[in-house]
Amino acid sequence: MKLNIALLAGDGIGPEVINQAVKVSDAVAKRFGHDINWRPALTGAAAIDAVGEPYPDETHEICKSSDAVLFGAIGHPRFDNDPSAKVRPEQGLLKMRKALGLFANVRPTFTFPSLLEKSPLKRERIEGTDLVFLRELTGGIYFGEKGRRDGGETAFDNCVYTRAEVQRLAKKGFELAMTRSKKLCCVDKANVLETSRLWRETVQAMEKDYPEVEVSYEFVDAVAMRLVQWPNSYDVLITENLFGDILTDEASVISGSMGLMPSASLGSDIGLFEPIHGSYPQATGLNIANPMATVLSAAMMFENFGLQDEGKAIRDAVNSALEKGMVTEDLADGGKSYGTKEVGDWLAANI
């Protein structure tokens, strides 16, 4: 298979972890006889510095004409620490999601047998956890009208959803549940929010189309509690943009490190694959960032193309590295650790 992949390294540790994912992907391509054409493009603070725009038109054209996008991370402290900044790296991410129609963020949370003791939660609470969040990504409060009034003394952010937006996300959730244990949880705040009531009534109306799927409805605060009590009671969860943003970060620590969890953002045509962690600017250039989340995002990318063996080869290499202690300092627990590049080299060599 010939694959054209847009490569958006971004900011901070983004380029470092992306380099390892490219290395591993190239090893997989060589082993299985594929040809990958990497197409680098600017985004985030790096793009602002270069052209004044966090998601330039040229980058969009490269992404739009590619088979998939492999993405690193964006963000820089100089923007975080300046509330008055008119242009921000994160604006590029929101613009890219909207422009590419990436409405479904797929965030798996699973455990690694060799790392169960590194989780902040007890082994008996997390063992066997294998859940997937589908977060709506292009609607809700992040894209609603926002602003200031009363001379800047009052701020507002509007949360708006259409039934069609809920339906297309829920459809992906039902379809995913059918391939797993046929359990779907709709996460909302329907006792308070009108948008949540729309979510709930829309999903309820879709139940008849998927009679084999057992559907539950839970308030977001209850799910936040249960995620740290019994995360393995969940399978597929669907929710709106803001709730999904918060809950998926909470769920990510179950595995023992945010540096281990991949994600995908899907639309009708193209998929974007990225680690869930941020740009971690303090670690930039220090060769200490964990590349495994980005590498596992590449595994999700191959699997999205229907290349299941290729994805498995990457997952097997990551599991082997964890078992053998070939890890960066965030997983070393004071023991021997290896650099970002060394971990990437090891993974590629073992594929």
What is the set of active-site residues? 142, 189, 221, 245, 249
d(CA 287, CA 97): 29
Place of tokens 């082993």: 31
Tokens of 192: 């308070």
DSSP track, 78-117:
HHHT-TT-SS-HHHHHHHHHHHHT--EEEEEEE--GGGGG
Tokens of 104: 């479904």
- End-to-end C-alpha distance for the chain, whole angstroms: 18
Tokens of 304: 């999205």
Q: Three-state SS for 128? A: coil
Paired with 157 in beta bridges are 146
Place of tokens 């899907």: 266
Tokens of 204: 């309820």
CA 64 to each of CA 10, 39, 329: distance values in angstroms, whole numbers, following the listed order: 17, 12, 37
d(CA 278, CA 292): 14
Look at strands 146-149 and 104-110 and give their pairing. unpaired
Q: Three-state SS for 47? A: helix
Estimate to the nearest angstrom the gap between the alpha carbon of 238 and the chain centroid: 14
- Indicate the burial class of 285 (C-beta count within 10 angstroms; 0-12, 13-18, 19 or more): exposed
